[in-house]
Structure 1
């Protein structure tokens, strides 16, 4: 089986205001709260320094360490299961995630914080589509979230499925030596909130097997500050014409972007590969899209149809 923003200049400065990662309405700027959050960030940096001292200084991972040799035009990309294997089980549930972990090079999932700070696997900004509850993950404590049914919407066979914690997911990942994961941190995360995730990765011995990713610059800077050796990817809808300075500034092993972005600017993909940075495309579910980006040499395809993509690659790239 195959194991498979607009442009930003290179002089970005890391933001110094750390908003809560949980989805919420924006509030008026509050100077005292800002000071408190900045101080909390400083405490987070001290905490991670202690963690690194105890565990030993890790070695930074490169894109090749994480994804293998970068692809050339026409070479088969890694298959990455989007929120697990959504074609077979409800997204971001353990059945879906375990199917992907057992069959694929990578599984992708999403993390948000509950009201009491527990990392939970869920994608949407509210719970309506999956559970019928109009509230968000950040409105409820983990215990309340555990009472919600996140499988019945998909079909009767999955009625009663509960929202997994990141801890439960990482435990299952650790039981599968060949499994790896892309974990998207939704919205903006502070230093201390990122440390919660990094601490779980370390506890389960998954350093190098879990790649953190985000659309949020604030979150990526937080990861860089508190755990600079953790592999990270920037999710971005449109690659800059020259994305290499941005990758270097953030210490990225890769970008996750759209097929439209890659096909519009193939020179950006080439420049990133020359710099040793990977490029993944999301979320592609049709043969024409797979062929389009594969011809350019993307390194990974995030898909809702991993089995179909695997079969397609078996025919179009025999031996993979």
Structure 2
């Protein structure tokens, strides 16, 4: 069942890559900052050469670390030696789980087909009520549902075809995560009728958040969850006062 909102009820907030506006993305420091304000923090999972799930958005190291080349060609020990920004290091998914458990909800995006079993093994002990596993790959969502039946899943998309919602339902997704420019009241209404939670990405301004909330989005991903939390809290207070 979707998480309904009202006109006076703020959306839940997902700290995108922790809080990438405030600290190097997908690092433990970004997660610490994000957890202070967000309902969930989100990370991206890939496999090292020795099959360990690590937290990295890109397939290559060049943009976010002082390394270069494909993540999958490096051993975990080699990845750990890299600087992921401001002296931070690439965390393993297990380190993220250990940090977040009991403190915040967690979104994990599966970036690579074929990594589902390894990623789910790490996530198997996490509270399913606090966990979403999401992906652009519909087959990954289907596999996760088989491996971790109690965990909620989400289908991410940046294009909206006529069969998008049907596809999400067919792989037993619990949520859709549309790119923000695809978000419409019609999409939200259709998704809710199908029992799907709607979580657009990435919202970083007050106007974006207010527009999404007012047409019924259940949550949103933001690079700056603390700023977003403050905006939604202040807006809610103002609306309650005006009512």
TM-score by length of 1: 0.69
Which structure's CA Rg is the greater one? 1
Alignment partner of 1:114 is 2:48: yes
2:230 and 2:129 map into 1 onto residues whose CA distance is: 28
1:162 maps to which of 65, 89, 106: 89
User: Quick one: structure 1 residues 272 and 72, their matched pair in 2 at CA, closer, same or farther if it must change by over 3 Å?
Assistant: farther
Alignment partner of 1:185 is 2:110: yes
User: Quick one: structure 1 residues 275 and 217, their matched pair in 2 at CA, closer, same or farther if it must change by over 3 Å?
Assistant: closer
Shift of 1:273: 1.1
Alignment partner of 1:99 is 2:18: no
Indicate the SS of the match to 2:45: strand
- For structure 1, the 5+ residue unaligned runs are 1-61, 64-68, 153-158
Alignment partner of 1:124 is 2:46: no
User: Quick one: structure 1 residues 258 and 72, their matched pair in 2 at CA, closer, same or farther if it must change by over 3 Å?
Assistant: farther
On the 8 A contact 1:241/1:268 being kept in 2, the answer is no
Partner of 2:226: 307
Shift of 1:243: 4.5
Number of matched pairs: 239
On the 8 A contact 1:75/1:297 being kept in 2, the answer is no
Indicate the SS of the match to 1:181: strand
Runs of 4+ in 1 over 6 A off after TM superposition: none
Alignment partner of 1:172 is 2:99: yes
Partner of 1:197: 119
Shift of 1:140: 0.3
Q: How does 1:212-223 map to 2 (within 5 A)?
A: 212-223=133-144
1:102 and 1:125 map into 2 onto residues whose CA distance is: 29
Indicate the SS of the match to 1:212: strand
1:311 and 1:200 map into 2 onto residues whose CA distance is: 33
Partner of 1:210: 131
Shift of 1:75: 4.0
Q: Deviations over 1:232-254 (max 9, x none)?
A: 00001133446543232111110
1:242 and 1:317 map into 2 onto residues whose CA distance is: 35
Indicate the SS of the match to 2:155: strand
Indicate the SS of the match to 1:289: helix
Shift of 1:90: 1.1
Partner of 2:79: 145
- For structure 2, the 5+ residue unaligned runs are none
Shift of 1:268: 2.1
TM-score by length of 2: 0.90
Q: Please tell me the root mean square deviation across aligned C-alpha atoms, in Å.
A: 2.0
